[in-house]
Amino acid sequence: MKPGPPEFAAVLLAGGASTRMGAPKPLLQFEGETFLDRLVRLFSPHCRRVIAVLGYQAEAVARGLQRPGAPVLVLNPKPECGQLSSLQTGLRALAPHPSAAFFHPVDIPAIQEESIIRLCAAWEAAPAGTLVLQPRHRGRKGHPVLLAAALIPELLALPPEGSARDVLRRHVERTIDVDVEDPGILRDADTPEDYRRLTGEISPP
């Protein structure tokens, strides 16, 4: 898409209040790791920078990291403003901008590393002018989303009531869906019931 190998970064959105879950979602366990640690491990080999945006219970989440030096921890000063505010906080911390940046909510922990690899490869092979790559499993789109650096100013300009989807909709014609054999891109965990479904175990404390 441009001369030289692309540089990728990742923004992990871990600032929510976890109200419906009743426990901090970044610290929930999945396959022997916390949600946040697993995502840091998956993205780190493929991204020059991995930024984890914290908000509610930030100190507890930071203490719970098993890889404390792997992500750059950034605090969203207004996590009550929602996920967009965390995304904007993370994007501001990316300067200088990479070629493209993943963004991924912490409550979708079951993605496979192969999906990240496929998205990176698809980015390198994509036609010039491509702005968005999104993974798709059996016709359904999920996360992580990979965005061109050119979209970062547009995302930062969104008003507090806006959504990243507003930007994605504007650029549908410059979006490529990348098919993956990974149902984890669709499996979020918002509630204890979701968590039990994800793990097959009992509800988290």
> What are 46-81's pLDDT values in tens digits?
999 999 999 999 999 999 998 766 799 999 999 999
Kindly state the DSSP code that residue 11 receives in the 8-state scheme: E
The residues near 199 (Cβ < 8 Å, ≥ 6 apart) are: 29, 30
- For residue 22, what are its two tokens? 């009743």
CATH architecture classification, 8-199: Alpha-Beta Complex (3.90)
- With 0-12 / 13-18 / 19 or more C-beta atoms within 10 angstroms meaning exposed / middle / buried, residue 52 is buried
Rounded-to-integer distance, Cα 91 and Cα 97, Å: 8
Q: Which pLDDT value is given to residue 5? A: 74
- Range from 62-76, 155-169, 178-192 carrying the lowest mean pLDDT: 62-76
In the predicted structure, residue 34 carries a pLDDT above the cut 50: yes
- Tokens in use for 29? 């366990």
Taking each helix axis as running N to C, give the angle between helix 35-43 and helix 113-125, from 0 to 180 degrees, rounded to the nearest 10: 40
